[in-house]
Amino acid sequence: MRWIQVVRGVALVGVGLAAGMTWSRAGAGGPVHDAARSAAEAPPGAGAMAVPAALQAGPAAVPEGLSASERRDIEVFRAASPSVVNVTSLVAVRRDFFSLDVTEMPQGSGSGFIWDRDGHVVTNFHVLEGGRRWTVTLGDHSTHEAVLVGVAPDKDLAVLRIEAPAETLSPLPLGRSRDLVVGQRVLAIGNPFGLDQSLTVGVVSALGRELTSPSGRTIRDVVQTDAAINPGNSGGPLLDSAGRLIGVNSAIYSPSGASAGIGFAVPVDTVARLVPELIEYGRPIRPGIGVTLLPDSLTRRIDVEGVAIQSVERGGPADRAGLEGIRSDRSGRRYLGDVIAAVNGEKVGDFDELATAFERAGIGAVVELVVLRDGEARTVGVEVVALEN
């Protein structure tokens, strides 16, 4: 993966290697790393370690004298850990120059979690990126071949599917990231450095952060936490104190590659919206209004504030609302058509902001657009629909 993390206007530049590898380059204040680790640092099979006989008998008794919060953390971990899995990405490697034989080697590993009893597993897109084949190791240390169901690079999310008995699959309950508050207790479970079933505890340290996804789109409303998120935690769950999923751990900001108290998670509201689409269609359903937009680079070059419409799909929502694209006169000279300046009262300055506004509104909603034409502003109501591509 090659992508740039942006946190509240601070550019944190990172050049990724293959999925599951640590990536970094010096940025403003230090490098940014994803929360996965390469096979060189997480040896093959590290996510499927042998279980000591003492642990196979069941969880140990909770010691006396622990605080109520400690007991609660223990309860949440024991309830949620069976849902957390290790995801290994495999690539084909040629044995030598003179041989046509190839073998598969672990490219890296990360975390994930069970979504439902049909065997769907959610993880980060960058954990799988570049892989040829994937395996999933459950909490009982059984390993299963995984099939890729769907990906959403724009949000750094992906869904795999495994064939496993339903009774061995324990989905996580969903929370709501829009209800989170700074200072709220959170727990992160994952496989840092190839060590499975590890728990770290912290708080929500900030809300509304922004990260740049592997595709270059901005992931908004990202949850920031000080719970230690280390290489290998990518794709694992961030939970609230009731054990509900509130985010998918995705990245850390660190000068060393290990946790430095700043971790980021894709918010569960985004996850809950996209995962059903990935399961059903293999891709996110893109909302829009039936227009083709001018490239942002061209809009900036002609000094236009907003998102300029290049053309309008005949019979689509924008066409029915009277929006127009670029116009030509009889002599062939071309004139700028409508420019979308705001959606539902929020200014939009580029394609990314406009797409995010449509995603937030949702398919079927009628959005209120502020549209500029020939220097005059007007307000137009347009329905958001599902686009074909």
If 0-12 CB within 10 Å is exposed, 13-18 middle and 19+ buried, where does residue 211 land? buried
Options 89, 177, 234, 250, the catalytic residue: 234
Q: What are phi and psi of 296, to 5 degrees?
A: -55, -35
Active site residue 250: no
Active site residue 241: no
Q: Residue 354, by phi and psi: left (phi above 0), alpha (psi -120 to 50) or beta?
A: alpha
Options 126, 205, 213, 226, the catalytic residue: 126
In this structure, are residues 207 and 224 in contact, taking their beta carbons and an 8 Å threshold? yes
For the record, the structure tokens of 263 come out as 């971790």
Buried b (16+ CB within 10 A) or exposed e, 220-248: bbbbbbbbbbbbbbbbbbbbbeebbbbbb
For the record, the structure tokens of 252 come out as 């850390």
How many whole angstroms separate alpha carbon 27 and alpha carbon 25? 6
Q: Residue 226, by phi and psi: left (phi above 0), alpha (psi -120 to 50) or beta?
A: alpha
Active site residue 126: yes
> Which residues are tagged catalytic?
126, 156, 234
